[in-house]
Amino acid sequence: MTFPAIEVSQTPESKFREYLATRPKPQRFTDQQRDLVKYIFSRHTHFDADQLLEDLKIAQLNISRATVYRTLSKLVDAGLLRRIELNGRMCYEHDYGYPQHDHLVCESCHKMIEFLTPELDEMLRQVSAQHQFQMTGHTLIIRGTCIECNRARGAKRKLDRI
């Protein structure tokens, strides 16, 4: 993990069960949902629906595409996952037990680097206030090239010159 986890009193599974039970229309907790929550919270990565589906297959967990999409939505609603829009597709990351942060995204290797910015919140609040805007959330992504890809590129340029 990039940052120390936040202390939480419940497991992701119990938090999810609580969410399901608490909805206006109570929802059920199924085997597929249990497996998904367990799998997703067994590692700290950014992933999209497709990657997750592949990884689940490798892990011998047979859960259909439709169920994966439906469960991801519920997990976002439940506050267990955060959704990030990136290059026209949805990316997910842990929300529960993990501090709010933003991302540097490498356009070469697509790595996501997390960063914390206490000043940013203050800035967002000020801007919103100036426009009498009721902020509910924000998205900040810094695009560019990570240090590894930059080095690789530099090395390649050197080779090209020989």
Binding region for DNA (CB under 7 A): 20, 25-33, 48-50, 62-67, 69-71, 73, 88-90
Q: Which does 33 bind (CB under 5 to 8 A by kind): DNA, its own copies, none?
A: DNA
Count of C-beta atoms within a 10 Å radius of residue 92: 21
β-strand pairing of 47-48 with 81-86: unpaired
Nearest Cα to 40, choosing from 16, 9, 7? 16
Among 9, 132, 158, 159, binds its own copies (CB under 8 A): 132
Minimum distance between the CB of residue 144 and its own copies, rounded to whole angstroms? 4
Does residue 73 contact residue 117 with C-beta atoms inside 8 Å?
Answer: no
Rule CB under 8 A: which of 28-47 touch its own copies?
A: none
Nearest Cα to 75, choosing from 114, 38, 112? 38
Which amino acid would we find at residue 38?
Answer: K
Count of residues near its own copies by CB under 8 A: 34
Q: Which does 56 bind (CB under 5 to 8 A by kind): its own copies, DNA, none?
A: none
State the chain's maximal CA–CA distance in angstroms: 68
Query: Under the criterion CB under 8 A, does residue 142 sit at the interface with its own copies?
Result: yes
Nearer to its own copies, 18 or 121 (CB): 121
Among 28, 66, 136, 159, binds its own copies (CB under 8 A): 136
